[in-house]
Each structure stands twice: as C-alpha cells, then as structure tokens.
C-alpha cells in the first residue's frame, strides 16, 4: 500500500468521533469501532478504495487509526494543547471547520435534487465556452508592436512561439484551450467573450503583463447532462459566490485599498 495514501488517511482524520459499536480495536480503553471505520472508509478517494479493500489494506488502515489515537493520547498526556503554537493551530482548525460547515449549509439546498440543474438551465448563457490563444509580453509597447505585425499578416501561432513569455502556452502557439468565464483570469475572459471567432484583441493588461488574444472558436453552453465535472464544480462555486455576496451585502465590510497596495 502506498505511503501517500496512508499519510492521507492520517491527515484526513479518519478516526473521527467513535460511536459505541462493535470494537475493531481499542487504545487504552478508547474504542475504534466498525461504525467509525466503515463510515470513514467510504469517504476515501475512489482511486484508493481498490487498494484498501483487501484484508491487508484494511489492517493497514486500522493500524493507522490506532497510531493516530496513540499520538492523540500522547499529546494530551504532554498537555500540548496548552502550547501557544498548538492553540493557534487549533483555533485555525476550528475556524476552518466552521467555515466549511457554513458553506455546506448554504450550498446544499441549492444543489440538491433538481436545484443544481434548474440553476444551470436558468443561467446557461453564463457558461458558454470560448477557445482562445494569447501572446504574453511584459510591456505595452511590445504588445502594440505584435498587434501591428498581426494586422500586417504575421502568423499568430508563430509569434506566440517566438515572443510569448508564457512558457506553458507559448510552445503550442499560445493555445489556452476552451474555457468559461469563471475558469480564466478575468481580464482575458472579459475580452475574449466580447470577441468573434478569428478576431484579435488590442493589448489587454493583467497582473501578468500584456496580452494579445485571438479567439479561435465559440461554443454554446452544453446541456446539463453533458457537463464535465470541472464545469459542474464551477456552477457550484458560482452559486456559493452568490450566497457569499448576499452575506457581504448584509454585513459591514470595509477595505483599506491604500494599505492593500502596500502589501508585498
């Protein structure tokens, strides 16, 4: 069994709160039960289940749970919870758990049953896809020069290969692939979704530099049943962002923009 999976099991906190059920093991009287074991086993990533679903694999997971309980009890014995750094981490962990619980509380009614499909169908145009390429340079003068060359008939892909500072897309002619608005940096998305196929943008500034963008294809939003998991996740994030915006509007939030500019 891969050590990465085992470490992941520890970090994920598979022991949870042990309910009184049939004991698989105990550590100084603290039980590790079949109920806890099976519940947490079901939460493991699909890729690890085949490995763990053997007598040897299950024993290794149980050994991990035993090790975790031993470490917990030892930490309590040494009163580690009184150490300042530990208290800070415990407070951060508590905050994280509460934030995630609140996100679940907000999101679950919006994505359960037909709710997610209904939301997507009502906002389908927001999930149209564009395929685009870009050339990234540091200075606006460089971008303007590239735009002039392209207007004179230069090949976009070749310029991307020779001039783009984007080491990931440059070698492939600047191709960014298909993306929705939510899966691209805002400046590129804002420009690309206003363009037609084969249209080339003026210089677009972002935190990365200056971009020349070429839209190579436009694709209507897919039917809900055809959505890949990446876009389904994006729909859920969009719903959550809407809920957070409602919270933000209902509460007092201030931002010190000048101080923010000074942060390095």
**Residue-wise pLDDT tens digits, 139-161:** 999 999 999 999 999 999 999 99
Q: Are 201 and 133 in contact (CB under 8 A)?
A: no
**Section 195-207 average pLDDT:** 96
Region of residue 14 (phi > 0: left; psi between -120 and 50: alpha; otherwise: beta): alpha
Closest CA to 203 of 194, 193, 192, 212: 212
CA gap 189, 212 in Å, rounded: 12
Q: Which of 21-25, 71-75, 119-123 has the lowest mean pLDDT?
A: 21-25
**Residues 6+ away with beta carbon under 8 Å from 12:** 40, 43
The answer to whether residue 210 scores a pLDDT higher than 50 is: yes
**Residues 6+ away with beta carbon under 8 Å from 142:** 163, 210
The answer to whether residue 32 scores a pLDDT higher than 60 is: yes
């Amino acid at each position: 069994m891969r050590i990465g999976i085992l470490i992941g099991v520890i970090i994920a906190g598979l022991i949870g709160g042990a309910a009184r059920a049939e004991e698989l093991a105990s550590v100084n009287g603290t039980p590790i039960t079949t109920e806890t074991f099976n519940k947490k086993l079901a939460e493991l990533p699909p890729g690890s289940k085949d490995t763990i679903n053997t007598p040897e694999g299950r024993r290794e997971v149980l050994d991990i749970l035993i090790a975790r309980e031993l470490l917990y009890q030892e930490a309590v014995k040494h009163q580690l919870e009184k150490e300042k750094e530990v208290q800070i981490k415990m407070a951060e962990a508590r905050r994280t758990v509460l934030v995630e619980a609140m996100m679940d509380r907000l999101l679950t009614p919006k994505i359960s049953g037909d709710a997610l499909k209904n939301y997507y169908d009502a906002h389908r145009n927001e999930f149209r896809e564009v395929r685009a390429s870009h050339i990234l340079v540091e200075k606006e003068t460089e971008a303007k020069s590239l735009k002039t060359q392209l207007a004179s008939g230069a090949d976009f892909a070749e310029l991307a290969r020779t001039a783009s500072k984007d080491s990931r897309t440059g070698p492939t002619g600047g191709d960014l692939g298909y993306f929705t608005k939510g899966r691209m940096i805002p400046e590129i998305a804002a420009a690309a979704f206003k363009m037609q196929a084969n249209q080339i943008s003026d210089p677009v500034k972002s935190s990365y530099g200056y971009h020349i963008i070429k839209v190579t294809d436009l694709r209507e939003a897919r039917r809900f049943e055809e959505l890949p998991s990446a876009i389904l996740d994006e729909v859920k994030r969009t719903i959550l962002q809407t809920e957070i915006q409602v919270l933000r509007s209902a509460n007092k939030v201030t931002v010190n923009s000048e101080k923010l500019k000074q942060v390095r």
